[in-house]
């Protein structure tokens, strides 16, 4: 029993019980005394139940308690997993947002530089055209 318990001792993910049967027999006929079983269960942090298949004593109570504990454990683990999933998504979304922001910033800077360069070329061409036109006009006037 100790080897089994040690192998599966992660109690956050498991619910362990010790169930004694045949409580309908006389105390002197028992193979394990009730006090010994209770002490063992307490030391191992198990829940302890005594049952009788013959008289049906304790069976429903044991199963009801087990189902309740398993359900509560499931809720707790599910909530923990949901919180971890939420936090992971939150970090991923923040990283994606920051990456997209940085990409947009670089794209905007590149576009701005391209527009400035295009405007500079257009202005130079317009200035050159204007100067050429004035030069021709001035030449006409001087003739």
The answer as to whether 85 is a domain residue is no
Q: pTM score, two decimals?
A: 0.49
The answer as to whether 20 is a domain residue is yes
The pLDDT assigned to 42 comes to 92
The answer as to whether 52 is a domain residue is yes
The answer as to whether 48 is a domain residue is yes
The answer as to whether 39 is a domain residue is yes
Determine the number of helices (DSSP H) and then strands (DSSP E) in the chain: 3, 2
The answer as to whether 73 is a domain residue is no
**Residue 100 is encoded by which pair of tokens?**
């997209």
Domain span at 3: 1-57
Domain count, the chain: 1
Inter-residue contact 15 to 66 (CB < 8 Å): yes
Strands (DSSP E) found in the chain: 17-20, 47-50
The pLDDT assigned to 8 comes to 59
Tell me the pLDDT tens digit for each residue of 75-114.
Answer: 888 888 888 888 888 888 888 888 898 899 898 988 898 8
The answer as to whether 22 is a domain residue is yes
Tell me the pLDDT tens digit for each residue of 3-58.
Answer: 665 665 555 567 788 999 888 888 888 888 889 999 999 998 889 999 998 899 99
């Amino acid at each position: 029993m100790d080897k089994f318990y040690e192998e599966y001792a992660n109690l956050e993910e498991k619910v362990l019980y010790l169930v004694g049967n045949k409580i309908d027999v006389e105390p002197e006929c028992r193979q394990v005394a009730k006090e010994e079983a209770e002490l063992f269960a307490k030391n191992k942090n198990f829940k302890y139940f005594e049952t009788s298949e013959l008289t049906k004593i304790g069976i429903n109570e044991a199963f009801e308690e087990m189902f309740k504990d398993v359900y509560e454990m499931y809720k707790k683990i599910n909530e923990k997993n949901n919180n971890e999933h939420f936090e992971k998504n939150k970090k991923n979304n923040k990283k994606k947002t920051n990456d997209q922001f940085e990409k947009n910033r670089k794209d905007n800077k590149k576009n701005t530089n391209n527009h400035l360069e295009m405007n500079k070329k257009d202005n130079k061409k317009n200035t050159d055209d204007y100067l050429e036109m004035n030069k021709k006009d001035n030449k006409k006037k001087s003739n």
